């Protein structure tokens, strides 16, 4: 306890130290000097962060530094006022460990990092918050820690197996390189299932479907699907399933790229019954290219599912041969065309499939049905789908390489610009869709990423979105912006030297306005500090910050699990 306290001078009460749960024989190498300094009693690692000491002096921002402790939990110092109605758990996923074996094996890309969950249990009624982080114990992470080197392939990294193994000799005999097993490193999304007692963690271009307990952050196991859709045909999945609420319970909708038939399976699974069987709702045939376009996210409306087909495509050849190209295991094939497909949620039929201008987007923001001027007719004229788009430039993938992120301050290259792009997909059989910029990009510093909306507006006409943005002249996401798509204006939050993660919107229970709620983001400061920021979603003014005793690693996506007792 004393060791931890020395790092936490500002906390009101001392944190509860945790014993490192899975202290793998070789993992102590990765914690080297930090571990040595932090060992107390029986060699146990207790609440001490190397990042807390190293960030300030490191040559790069703390957001890109490895977290050196598998888990921590403690009270957070509250500055400001937590709304009394905000009672629940905020969970956030992201990469946190990019090095194995004491730095001997360092990953190249931000997407490669082993998943670190951050949890903040907020009791607004008492003005208190408890923070925690913990590594997800995926097979990829535990095997890397046990062996002192990565065993499974990550986004940018192939890890050859023992070339002498029988399997690899067989692979060589049929012309495949000795490739590493596909990773289950679930570092991107956290999705509460059913009543929120189990949370599904996902990433893409891998086979992750890891279940965690949101209270303890224990890795409970895997969601093993009974539907046999995985196997060789659909080995990867879209990272952002959409959960929609209906009278009969929640339903998860997602896309499985279909490599055998060059398309996507649109699947659904009830989440309230504890099911692990996905039902195929429909199929989309890709219109271009040798393989399906990479699909990180998609959008739904009340009646339709919107399936994007980007010219940034999965490279099946690279996946099989364990080869890495300029875009890792993706290929940019602009001549293969860009398309948007619309599937009817009740029949599974494709009701529109249009060619659109080329685009590159990780994240779809929302979609809705556009009706005629009378507004009351039951048929929609078109589907509107919005996304954070990079002007059809796949260079964003390379810009997220760690060496690039770690040298942003001195970089001469401009970080790729992005915009809120709006597709209009006609439903009258026209062959072409439209793509335009929905908001002056200068309103968000020509950077928009990791967007959220009020979830009650998913699939419906909406007005507000919250996203990471840029305050120029800085060359990276250093701000948060609320955008008003009706008034076409924006409000921003910015603090010098910080990297804020996805601004996650939480609605006030009983609130009627679209922006009645708070926005939560985890923020990492240049000096090694870290805090959870609460903004009033209407005014976009800071209402509280909940301070961690160490700098948080960069985050991807979050979720909110309301406390049932309130």
Ligand X SMILES: CC1=C(/C=C/C(C)=C\C=C\C(C)=C\C=C\C=C(C)\C=C\C=O)C(C)(C)CCC1
Question: Candidates 84-92, 181-189, 248-256, 275-283 — which segment interacts with ligand X by CB under 6 A?
Answer: 181-189
| Tally of helices (H runs) and strands (E runs) in the chain | 8, 40
Question: Closest separation between CB of residue 136 and ligand X, Å?
Answer: 12
Candidate list 141, 155, 339, 493; residue touching ligand X; CB under 6 A: 155
Token duo for residue 388: 């954070």
The distance from CA 21 to its chain's CA centroid, rounded to whole angstroms, is 25
450 binds ligand X (CB under 6 A): yes
Q: Phi first, then psi: give them for residue 491, nearest 5 degrees.
A: -125, 140
98 binds ligand X (CB under 6 A): no
315 binds ligand X (CB under 6 A): no
Minimum CB distance to ligand X smaller for 129 or for 182 = 182
* C-alpha–C-alpha distance, residues 347 and 448, integer Å: 35
362 binds ligand X (CB under 6 A): yes
Q: How far apart, in Å, are the Cα atoms of 169 and each of 152, 166, 271, 318?
A: 18, 5, 42, 18
Token duo for residue 401: 């390489």
Question: Candidates 130-138, 183-191, 214-222, 376-384 — which segment interacts with ligand X by CB under 6 A?
Answer: 183-191
Question: Candidates 29-37, 124-132, 163-171, 180-188 — which segment interacts with ligand X by CB under 6 A?
Answer: 180-188
452 binds ligand X (CB under 6 A): no
Q: How far apart, in Å, are the Cα atoms of 95 and each of 155, 461, 501, 506, 528?
A: 12, 33, 12, 23, 17
209 binds ligand X (CB under 6 A): no
Question: Closest separation between CB of residue 159 and ligand X, Å?
Answer: 12
Cα radius of gyration (the chain): 23
206 binds ligand X (CB under 6 A): yes
Site for ligand X in 386-425 (CB under 6 A): 396, 400
Minimum CB distance to ligand X smaller for 203 or for 281 = 203
479 binds ligand X (CB under 6 A): no
Residue 403 annotated as binding site:
no
Question: Candidates 129-137, 201-209, 230-238, 345-353 — which segment interacts with ligand X by CB under 6 A?
Answer: 201-209
110 binds ligand X (CB under 6 A): yes
Burial 7-46 (b: 16+ CB within 10 A, else e): bbeebeeebebbebeeebeebbbbbeebbeebbbeeeebb
Question: Closest separation between CB of residue 140 and ligand X, Å?
Answer: 8
Would strands 71-75 and 530-536 be described as parallel, antiparallel, or unpaired?
A: unpaired
Token duo for residue 514: 């679209």
Through-space distance between the first and last CA atoms of the chain, rounded to whole angstroms: 33
Candidate list 90, 114, 339, 477; residue touching ligand X; CB under 6 A: 477
184 binds ligand X (CB under 6 A): no
Number of residues that bind ligand X (CB under 6 A): 24
Minimum CB distance to ligand X smaller for 38 or for 554 = 554
Residue 566 annotated as binding site:
no
Minimum CB distance to ligand X smaller for 110 or for 158 = 110
328 binds ligand X (CB under 6 A): no
* C-alpha–C-alpha distance, residues 119 and 560, integer Å: 10
111 binds ligand X (CB under 6 A): yes
* C-alpha–C-alpha distance, residues 347 and 344, integer Å: 6
Q: Side by side, which strands form the sheet with 434-437?
A: 361-370, 382-389, 419-426, 434-437
Question: Closest separation between CB of residue 210 and ligand X, Å?
Answer: 12
| 473 upstream amide cis, omega within 30 of 0 | yes
Which is it for the CA torsion 512, 515, 518, 521, positive or negative? Answer: positive
Token duo for residue 557: 């996506």
304 binds ligand X (CB under 6 A): no
Please choose, from the candidates 500, 522, 506, 459, the residue with its C-alpha nearest in 3D space to the C-alpha of residue 192.
Answer: 506
Q: At what angle do helices 139-147 and 27-38 cross, to 10 degrees?
A: 80
Please choose, from the candidates 83, 96, 92, 94, the residue with its C-alpha nearest in 3D space to the C-alpha of residue 129.
Answer: 83
Question: Candidates 203-211, 306-314, 330-338, 453-461 — which segment interacts with ligand X by CB under 6 A?
Answer: 203-211
Residue 557 annotated as binding site:
yes
Candidate list 310, 380, 534, 554; residue touching ligand X; CB under 6 A: 554
Candidate list 114, 364, 556, 560; residue touching ligand X; CB under 6 A: 556
501 binds ligand X (CB under 6 A): yes
Question: Closest separation between CB of residue 63 and ligand X, Å?
Answer: 6
Residue 296 annotated as binding site:
yes
Please choose, from the candidates 529, 442, 458, the residue with its C-alpha nearest in 3D space to the C-alpha of residue 492.
Answer: 442
Minimum CB distance to ligand X smaller for 382 or for 408 = 408
Minimum CB distance to ligand X smaller for 17 or for 94 = 94
- Containing 1, the helix (H) or strand (E) segment is none
Question: Closest separation between CB of residue 291 and ligand X, Å?
Answer: 16
CB 526 within 8 A of CB 500: no
Candidate list 31, 48, 122, 203; residue touching ligand X; CB under 6 A: 203
Binding residues: 240, 296, 363, 557
Binding annotation for Fe cation: 240, 296, 363, 557
Interface with ligand X (CB under 6 A): 110-111, 154-155, 183, 185, 187-188, 203-206, 296, 362, 396, 400, 449-450, 468, 477, 499, 501, 554, 556
């Amino acid at each position: 306890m004393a060791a931890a306290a020395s790092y936490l001078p500002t906390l009101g009460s001392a944190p509860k130290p945790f014993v490192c749960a899975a202290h793998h024989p070789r993992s102590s190498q990765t914690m080297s000097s930090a571990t040595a300094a932090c060992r107390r009693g029986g060699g146990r690692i207790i609440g001490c962060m190397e990042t807390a000491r190293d960030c300030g002096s490191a040559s790069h921002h703390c957001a890109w530094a490895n977290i050196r402790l598998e888990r921590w939990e403690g009270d957070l110092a509250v500055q400001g006022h937590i709304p009394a109605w905000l009672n629940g758990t905020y969970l956030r996923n992201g990469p946190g460990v990019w090095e194995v074996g004491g730095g001997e094996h360092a990953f190249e890309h931000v997407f490669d990092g082993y998943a670190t969950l951050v949890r903040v249990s907020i009791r607004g009624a008492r003005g208190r918050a408890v923070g925690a982080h913990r590594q997800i114990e995926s097979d990829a992470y535990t095997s890397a820690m046990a062996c002192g080197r990565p065993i499974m392939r990550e986004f940018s990294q192939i890890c050859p197996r023992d070339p002498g193994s029988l399997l690899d000799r067989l692979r060589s005999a049929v012309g495949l390189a000795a490739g590493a097993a596909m990773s289950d490193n679930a570092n991107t999304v956290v999705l509460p299932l059913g009543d929120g007692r189990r949370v599904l963690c996902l990433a893409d271009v891998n086979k992750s479907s890891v279940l965690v307990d949101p209270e303890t952050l224990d890795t409970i196991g895997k969601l093993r699907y009974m539907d046999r859709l995985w196997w060789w045909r659909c080995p990867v999945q879209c990272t952002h399933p959409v959960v929609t609420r209906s009278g009969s319970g929640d339903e998860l909708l997602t896309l499985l790229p279909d490599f055998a038939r060059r398309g996507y399976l649109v699947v659904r699974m009830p989440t309230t019954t504890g099911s692990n069987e996905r039902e195929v709702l429909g199929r989309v045939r890709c219109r271009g290219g040798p393989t399906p376009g990479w699909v990180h996210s998609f959008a739904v409306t009340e009646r339709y599912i919107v399936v994007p087909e980007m010219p940034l495509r999965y490279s099946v050849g690279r996946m099989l041969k364990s080869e890495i190209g300029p875009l890792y295991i993706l290929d940019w094939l602009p001549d293969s065309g860009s398309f948007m497909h619309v599937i009817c949620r009740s029949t599974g039929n494709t009701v529109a499939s249009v060619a659109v201008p080329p685009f590159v987007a990780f994240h779809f923001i929302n979609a809705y049905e556009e009706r005629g001027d009378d507004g009351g007719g039951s048929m929609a004229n078109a589907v509107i789908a919005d996304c954070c788009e990079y002007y059809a430039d796949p260079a964003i993938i390379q810009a997220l390489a760690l060496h690039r992120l770690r040298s942003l301050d001195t970089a001469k290259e401009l970080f790729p610009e992005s915009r809120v792009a709006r597709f209009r997909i006609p439903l009258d059989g026209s062959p072409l869709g439209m793509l335009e910029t929905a908001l002056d990009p200068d309103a968000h510093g020509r950077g928009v990423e990791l967007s959220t909306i009020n979830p009650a507006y998913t699939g419906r006409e909406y007005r507000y979105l919250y996203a990471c943005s840029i305050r120029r002249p800085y060359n990276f996401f250093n701000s948060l912006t609320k955008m008003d798509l009706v008034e076409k204006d924006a409000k921003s939050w910015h603090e010098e030297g910080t990297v804020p993660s996805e601004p996650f919107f939480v609605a006030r229970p009983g609130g009627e306005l679209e922006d009645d709620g708070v926005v939560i983001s985890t923020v990492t400061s240049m000096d090694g500090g870290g805090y959870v920021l609460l903004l009033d979603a209407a005014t976009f003014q800071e209402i509280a910050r909940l301070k961690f005793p160490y700098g948080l690693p960069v985050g991807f996506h979050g979720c909110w699990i309301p406390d049932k007792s309130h």
